[in-house]
Amino acid sequence: MAGTLVKICGITTSETLAAAVGAGASHVGFVHFAKSPRHLSLADAGRLRALVPVHVKAVLLLVNADPSTLAEAVREVHPDIVQFHGSETPDTLARFRAETFIEAWRALAVRDSAALAEVAQFRGAADRVLLDAPATALPGGNGTAFDWSLLAGWQAPLPWGLAGGLTPANVADAIRLTGAPLVDTSSGVERGPGIKDVDKIAAFCKAARSA
């Protein structure tokens, strides 16, 4: 997709994977986190990952995975990118990248302008940071947005993306307001927790493209 990159996260079926790819998503995400309604076993994530065409990046989301789980995830899923969505340190990401040569993203909760100052610590450790709303019941996928005005005039120290509360109705405005180079949605394209809607996926990608 020309312009803004689009990630559809929390894919759980081949039908919704095909919908995301067909709509022009640049990235598709699989969640391995038992508390999430979008949770996939590593075996199931691996089966879906095998269906991802080469021009689309497969992202595996993990939350504070221990080293053995992380190693198993890489073996089972063969992701293009691992999205660290817990409290993982810059050292953890840097070590992961050095050992696997796999791209590493880190999600960061944005409560206030001070949180944006934390992004710089991941320069040289993460390939991209995802700015997300603060966690509630889950680390992400809660359908809530942070105050995008915090990004006015912000100079990103490394590649980044915008997540949290993005829907087909607001994504174009979000891109125009923040200049986000990548937008990431999960619950915003669902008709129920963990149940993706193919029409909403198409609408989201179309709206992002329009911005």
Residue 2 pLDDT > 80, yes or no?
Answer: no
Residue 63 pLDDT > 80, yes or no?
Answer: yes
Tokens of 36: 């999430």
- What residue spans define the domains of the chain? 5-210
Q: State pLDDT tens for residues 140-177.
A: 455 678 999 999 999 999 999 999 999 999 999 999 99
Give the per-residue pLDDT at 1.
40
Give the per-residue pLDDT at 139.
54
What average pLDDT does the structure give for the chain?
Answer: 94
Give the per-residue pLDDT at 134.
81
Q: Long-range pairs for 175-179 at CB < 8 Å and ≥24 separation?
A: 175/4, 175/208, 175/211, 176/211, 177/148, 177/149, 177/151, 178/148, 178/151, 179/151
Average pLDDT on 112-133 reads 95
Average pLDDT on 115-123 reads 95
CA max distance for the chain: 43
* Other Cβ atoms within 10 Å of 35 Cβ, number: 10
Average pLDDT on 173-189 reads 96
36-45, 94-103, 111-120, 139-148 — which is least confidently predicted? 139-148
Give the per-residue pLDDT at 144.
74
Q: State pLDDT tens for residues 18-39.
A: 999 999 999 999 999 999 999 9
Give the per-residue pLDDT at 133.
87
Residue 122: Cβ-neighbour burial (10 angstroms; 0-12, 13-18, 19+) = buried
Q: CA torsion angle for 149, 117, 10, 35 (degrees, to 10)?
A: -120
**Distance in angstroms (rounded) separating the CA atoms of residues 1 and 207:** 12
Amino acid at 160: W
Amino acid at 97: R
CATH level 3 topology of 5-210:
TIM Barrel (3.20.20)
**Distance in angstroms (rounded) separating the CA atoms of residues 48 and 10:** 12
